[in-house]
């Protein structure tokens, strides 16, 4: 009995080639084999059911062959019986080349690959296309419930022959799951060794940082510019995250080596329509207090963070008035999400974005794609400068302006807006110092702080903050960010002249209610009295 595949493939021209190249004698054994090779053995069935893809060849009416890869979850090519296979035909590029070819010629050839073990199985068959309306039960039996793909039809294959091919020239390749399986023992060994050597958890990144109510994991890191790095934060179980408004921010924990953790505030830069992840962008500040440097140094993939719930302190107006966005440097982060939200609503928006150079413009390419001609870039090294007066004058008469960036940029927009007759509520702003390292500055002098309720006086050195002095003296007080952006430490000034350096209190908070943030603000007088 000849092997079935040799009856199909050993045509006269093939036999002639075997004679020509000296392999005819070796191949004659296939024509006298006892096993016909046209039914599936237990080994072949196990092999087929483990595959997540195969190559198939069909032929058109013009004689041209067409080879296509068909992929899906492991086992999507199902064994119906020892002579029959079937698979659900998932929606593809809708050219229907294979389906069309099979309509004219039902012959089909398959090659199934096992790259890690360098094995391959060849199958020759007759194919039958089965539409859902023709046999819904059959089509349903071939579907993969866990695989979210549209099934257009079923393909049923009646096997004519099969043959195992030699392993020559097969380069081993491995899937991500196979590599993870190989690496698991190594990771366990590394963990054990690190724990043994250091006497502590294998990696600081495995400990959860922070104590906020929302636990997230760093699922992605992108270098947006030489200075700015984006961190994608997702739920550990990949659940939907709380809804956020454009311009919202979160407080994230910052690991300062062996010192106590602090927090920093960062705008959520991702599209507010997303529920799967938040993205923050952190500009490394070489001259800052170390918060941004610590994040760049210690935030890594897989690190878990407990953060605050999103806070909306820089929100968009909810009517249809047109919007003008003005960003300086890393101040682009809340305005990016605003631009995306406004575009999704179909509202008019124009963005003016200034930075030292194009290379330092985080999200520049993405914003060009979203806003097209409605974004104008001002790279300083190309001699382009923001003309605030012109921007305000040329904007629609009822436009609302949002500005985020350095304090001098915000002051310029507010002052010129006032000069040009803009109502104060049409200019809304947020300093990009959210997330910056704010603290004592050159020229600061020492002063006394008297805590009225406890009748205690503290000396605040020129290189320390009032909050530092209170903590050193054992005074119990609430605080969080230590950068003047969250307002947790706010107290009331009873006497003396404060120097406000926070980024959270409004003019009314400061002037009418006497509120004060001791984490960053100081005194213009020799003595300051606080309601504590």
Tokens of 17: 């080639």
- Please report the pLDDT score of residue 433 as a whole number: 46
Same-domain pairing of 245 and 378:
yes
The answer, yes or no, to whether residue 127 has pLDDT greater than 80, is yes
Same-domain pairing of 53 and 195:
no
Cα separation, 458 vs 449, in Å, equals 5
Please state the separation of Cα 206 from the chain's center in Å: 20
Same-domain pairing of 239 and 383:
yes
Which of residues 433 and 327 earns the better pLDDT score?
A: 327
Same-domain pairing of 106 and 250:
no
In a domain? residue 24: no
- Per residue in 38-74, pLDDT (tens digit) is 999 999 999 999 999 999 999 999 999 999 999 999 9
Which of residues 12 and 198 earns the better pLDDT score?
A: 12
Tokens of 410: 């915000």
Q: Which of 192, 237, 233, 241 is nearest to 210 (CA)?
A: 233
The 10 Å CB-count burial string (b at 16+, else e) for 132-170 is: eeeeeeebeebebeeeeeebbbbbbbbbbbbbeeeeeeb
- Please report the pLDDT score of residue 348 as a whole number: 87
Residue 176's pLDDT band (cuts 50, 70, 90) = confident
Residue 186's pLDDT band (cuts 50, 70, 90) = confident
DSSP string, 106-165: -EEEEEEEETTTTEEEEEEEEEEEEETTT-HHHHHHH--TTS---EEEEEEEEEEEEEEE
Asked if 521 and 438 touch (Cβ cutoff 8 Å), the reply is no
- Per residue in 215-231, pLDDT (tens digit) is 999 999 999 999 999 99
Same-domain pairing of 245 and 359:
yes
- Name the average pLDDT for the chain: 88
Domain boundary among 133, 165, 197: 165
Same-domain pairing of 308 and 432:
yes
Cα separation, 230 vs 333, in Å, equals 10
SS3 track for 149-164: CCEEEEEEEEEEEEEE
Which residue shows structure tokens 């491995």?
Answer: 174
Domain that holds residue 433: 214-437
Same-domain pairing of 359 and 248:
yes
Which of residues 506 and 31 earns the better pLDDT score?
A: 31
Q: Which of 159, 88, 95, 149 is nearest to 127 (CA)?
A: 159
In a domain? residue 255: yes
The answer, yes or no, to whether residue 434 has pLDDT greater than 60, is no
- Please report the pLDDT score of residue 180 as a whole number: 83
DSSP class of residue 247 equals T
Same-domain pairing of 237 and 129:
no
Through-space distance between the first and last CA atoms of the chain, rounded to whole angstroms = 101
Residue 436's pLDDT band (cuts 50, 70, 90) = very low
Cα separation, 303 vs 279, in Å, equals 14
In a domain? residue 27: no
In a domain? residue 238: yes
Question: What's the CATH number where 464 sits?
Answer: 3.10.20.30
Q: Which residues on neighbouring strands pair with residue 48, listed in sequence order?
A: none
Find the helix packing angle between 332-345 and 364-371, rounded to 10°.
Answer: 20
In a domain? residue 6: no
What average pLDDT does the segment 281-307 reach? 86
Asked if 301 and 219 touch (Cβ cutoff 8 Å), the reply is yes
- Please report the pLDDT score of residue 435 as a whole number: 40
Strand ranges across the sheet with 527-530: 456-460, 447-451, 527-530, 491-495, 515-516
Give the β-pairing of 447-451 and 527-530: parallel
Give the β-pairing of 375-379 and 349-355: parallel
Cα separation, 444 vs 409, in Å, equals 24
- Beta-carbon contacts of 118 under 8 Å, excluding residues fewer than 6 positions away, are 167, 170, 172
Same-domain pairing of 261 and 355:
yes
- Please report the pLDDT score of residue 204 as a whole number: 45
- Per residue in 375-422, pLDDT (tens digit) is 999 999 898 999 999 999 999 999 999 999 888 888 889 999 999 999
The answer, yes or no, to whether residue 128 has pLDDT greater than 70, is yes
Cα separation, 283 vs 296, in Å, equals 9
Same-domain pairing of 455 and 427:
no
Residue 192's pLDDT band (cuts 50, 70, 90) = confident
- Per residue in 78-91, pLDDT (tens digit) is 999 999 999 999 88
In a domain? residue 5: no
Strand ranges across the sheet with 107-114: 65-71, 53-59, 107-114, 119-131, 151-165, 84-90, 77-81
- Please report the pLDDT score of residue 205 as a whole number: 45
Considering 91-95, 109-113, 298-302, the range whose residues carry the highest mean pLDDT is 109-113
The answer, yes or no, to whether residue 517 has pLDDT greater than 80, is yes
Same-domain pairing of 495 and 399:
no
The answer, yes or no, to whether residue 259 has pLDDT greater than 60, is no
Query: In percent, how much of the chain has pLDDT > 70?
Result: 92
Total of domains in the chain? 4
Helical spans, DSSP H, in 22-96: 24-27, 42-49
Cα separation, 438 vs 444, in Å, equals 13
Asked if 348 and 396 touch (Cβ cutoff 8 Å), the reply is yes
What average pLDDT does the segment 20-25 reach? 90
In a domain? residue 102: yes
Q: Which of 521, 426, 509, 512 is nearest to 482 (CA)?
A: 521
- Please report the pLDDT score of residue 288 as a whole number: 60
Cα separation, 429 vs 267, in Å, equals 13
What average pLDDT does the segment 122-149 reach? 89
Same-domain pairing of 338 and 390:
yes
Asked if 403 and 429 touch (Cβ cutoff 8 Å), the reply is yes
Please compute, for residue 407, the number of CA atoms within 13 A of its CA located in the half-sphere on the CB side.
Answer: 6
Give SS3 for 268.
Answer: coil
Which residue shows structure tokens 């058109």?
Answer: 60
The answer, yes or no, to whether residue 197 has pLDDT greater than 70, is no
Domain boundary among 189, 207, 225: 207
- Please report the pLDDT score of residue 93 as a whole number: 75
Asked if 104 and 127 touch (Cβ cutoff 8 Å), the reply is no
In a domain? residue 299: yes
């Amino acid at each position: 009995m000849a092997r079935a595949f040799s009856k199909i493939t050993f045509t006269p021209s093939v036999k002639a080639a075997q004679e020509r190249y000296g392999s005819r004698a070796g191949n004659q054994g296939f024509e006298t084999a006892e096993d016909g090779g046209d039914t599936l053995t237990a080994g072949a069935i196990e092999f087929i059911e483990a595959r997540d893809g195969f190559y198939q060849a069909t032929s058109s009416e013009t004689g041209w062959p067409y080879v296509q890869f068909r992929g899906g979850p492991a086992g999507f090519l199902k064994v119906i019986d020892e002579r029959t296979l079937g698979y659900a035909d998932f929606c593809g590029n809708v050219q229907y080349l294979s389906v069309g070819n099979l309509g004219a010629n039902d012959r089909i050839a398959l090659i199934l690959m096992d790259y890690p073990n360098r094995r391959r199985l060849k199958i020759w068959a007759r194919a039958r296309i089965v539409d859902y309306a023709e046999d819904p039960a059959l089509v349903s039996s071939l579907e993969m419930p866990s695989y979210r793909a549209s099934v257009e039809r079923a393909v049923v294959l009646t096997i004519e022959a099969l043959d195992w091919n030699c392993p020559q020239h097969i380069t081993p390749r491995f899937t991500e799951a196979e590599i993870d399986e190989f690496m698991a023992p190594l990771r366990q060994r590394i963990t054990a060794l690190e724990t043994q050597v250091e006497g502590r958890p294998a990696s600081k990144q495995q400990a959860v940082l922070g104590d906020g109510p929302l636990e997230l994991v760093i699922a992605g890191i992108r270098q947006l510019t030489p200075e700015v790095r984006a961190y994608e934060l997702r739920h550990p179980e990949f659940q939907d995250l709380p809804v956020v408004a454009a311009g919202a921010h979160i407080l994230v924990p910052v690991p300062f080596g062996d010192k106590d953790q602090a927090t920093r505030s960062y705008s959520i830069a991702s599209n507010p329509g997303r529920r799967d992840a938040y993205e923050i962008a952190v500009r490394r500040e070489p001259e800052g207090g170390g918060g941004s440097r610590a994040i760049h140094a210690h935030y890594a993939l897989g690190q878990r963070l407990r953060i605050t719930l999103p806070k909306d302190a820089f929100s968009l107006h909810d009517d249809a008035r047109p919007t003008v966005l003005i960003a300086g440097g890393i101040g682009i982060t809340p305005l990016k999400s605003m631009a995306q939200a406004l575009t999704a609503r179909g509202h008019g928006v124009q963005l003016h974005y200034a930075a030292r150079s194009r290379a330092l413009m985080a999200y520049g390419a993405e914003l060009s794609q979203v806003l097209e001609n409605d974004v104008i870039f001002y790279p300083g090294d190309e001699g382009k400068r923001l003309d605030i007066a012109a921007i305000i004058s040329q904007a629609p008469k009822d436009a609302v302006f949002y500005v985020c960036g350095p304090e001098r940029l915000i002051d310029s927009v507010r002052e010129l807006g006032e000069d040009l007759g803009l109502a104060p509520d049409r200019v809304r702003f947020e300093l990009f110092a959210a997330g910056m390292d704010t603290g004592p500055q050159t020229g600061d002098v020492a002063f006394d702080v008297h805590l009225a309720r406890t009748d205690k006086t503290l000396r605040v050195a020129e290189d320390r903050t009032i909050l530092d002095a209170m903590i050193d003296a054992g005074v119990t007080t609430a605080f969080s960010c230590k950068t003047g952006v969250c307002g947790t430490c706010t107290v009331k000034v009873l006497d003396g002249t404060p120097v406000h350096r926070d980024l959270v209190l409004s003019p009314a908070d400061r002037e009418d209610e006497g509120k004060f943030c001791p984490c960053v603000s100081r005194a213009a007088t020799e003595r300051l009295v606080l309601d504590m």
